[in-house]
């Protein structure tokens, strides 16, 4: 199982939000590249990057940071937040990024998902499934849709998507624990490749996720607080 550090960008800085609330922000660094290089040096297999400004507004606002990361990093990057048209998808994938993450677009513009799959291949796309009370949230988690998590996964699978990031918003940034039950139910119900995100705060959590069969686990707050040591986590799972 891949242990994947997360870098959330807001105003060019590396931050973390509590339960996706933009008013509950903690700034961990004003140099995201230094943070990314640190995770790379510690053995990260890839880095998950979210443009929080772009996720909320629909317009990518941290492109210069993304360019620096794409030029400097030797490991694969996956980037989400504000990618809602083909031009944005092309721009990001042209920055040395291996995968783009589509969330809002998967709900509001499924044709974009289909186009990206056809043009760049299914390995270049991940659909982010951000859940609040069983329903998918969009637009930087600020708005709830009327689509159930499993329904969205089935729709996207039919379009060719093979990989999904599942985040329980109520757990994100809380250092509580992942929603193991929902993850287990999804694995049994959809058969797709899942990456877990939200609430991971210990190596025991990672070990349990590995037994569930998820492909990867995205860690944010726990790395920045020191609750999880990245080298140890990678060695253990």
DSSP 223: H
139: which 2 tokens? 């637009």
* Greatest alpha-carbon span in the chain: 42
- Can you give the pLDDT at residue 76? 96
- Cβ–Cβ < 8 Å for 152, 129: yes
Pairing of strands 216-219, 99-102: unpaired
Do residues 209 and 217 make contact, with C-beta atoms less than 8 angstroms apart?
yes
Model pTM score: 0.92
Q: Can you give the pLDDT at residue 141?
A: 62
Question: Does residue 74 sit in helix, strand or coil?
Answer: coil
pLDDT given for residue 143 in this prediction: 67
Q: In the chain, how many domains are there? A: 1
Closest CA to 220 of 58, 15, 68: 15
Look-up: residue for tokens 């994938």?
Answer: 93
d(CA 85, CA 37): 29
pLDDT tens by residue, the chain, 237 residues: 999 999 999 999 999 888 877 888 899 999 999 999 999 999 999 999 999 998 888 888 899 999 999 999 999 999 999 899 999 999 999 998 999 999 888 888 999 999 999 999 999 999 999 888 878 887 766 667 778 899 999 999 999 999 999 998 878 777 788 999 989 999 888 888 999 999 999 999 999 999 999 999 999 999 999 999 999 999 999
Query: Sign of torsion, CA 20 25 31 37?
Result: negative
Residue 214: which CATH number? 3.20.20.70
Q: Do the Cβ atoms of 210 and 2 come closer than 8 Å?
A: no
* DSSP 8-state assignment for residue 191: -
What is the rounded CA–CA span in Å between residue 133 and residue 168?
Answer: 8
124 touches 96 (CB < 8 A): no
- End-to-end alpha-carbon separation of the chain, Å? 6
Q: Which domain holds residue 188?
A: 2-236
| Interatomic CA distance for residues 46 and 138, integer angstroms | 24
Residues carrying an active site annotation: 8, 130
Give the 3-state secondary structure of residue 169.
Answer: coil
| pLDDT of res. 72 | 94
């Amino acid at each position: 199982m891949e242990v994947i550090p997360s870098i959330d960008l807001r105003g060019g800085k590396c931050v973390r939000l509590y339960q996706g609330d933009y008013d509950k922000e903690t700034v961990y660094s004003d140099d995201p590249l230094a943070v990314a290089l640190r995770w790379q040096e510690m053995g990260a297999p890839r880095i998950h990057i979210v443009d929080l400004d772009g996720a909320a507004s629909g317009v990518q606002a941290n492109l210069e940071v993304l360019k620096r990361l794409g030029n400097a990093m030797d490991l694969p990057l996956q980037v989400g937040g504000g990618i809602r048209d083909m031009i944005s998808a092309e721009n990001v994938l042209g920055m040395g990024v291996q995968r783009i993450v589509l969330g809002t677009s998967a709900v509001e513009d499924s044709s974009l998902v289909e186009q990206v799959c056809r043009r760049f291949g299914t390995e270049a796309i991940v659909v982010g499934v951000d859940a609040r009370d069983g329903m998918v949230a969009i637009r930087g988690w600020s708005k709830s849709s009327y689509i159930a998590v499993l329904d969205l996964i089935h729709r996207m699978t039919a379009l060719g998507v093979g990989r999904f990031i599942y985040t329980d918003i109520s757990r994100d940034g809380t250092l509580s624990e992942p929603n193991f039950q929902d993850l287990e139910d999804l694995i049994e119900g959809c058969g797709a490749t899942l990456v877990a995100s939200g609430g991971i705060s210990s190596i025991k959590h990672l070990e349990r996720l590995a037994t569930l069969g998820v492909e990867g686990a995205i860690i944010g707050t726990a790395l920045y607080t020191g609750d999880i040591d990245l080298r140890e986590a990678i060695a253990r799972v």
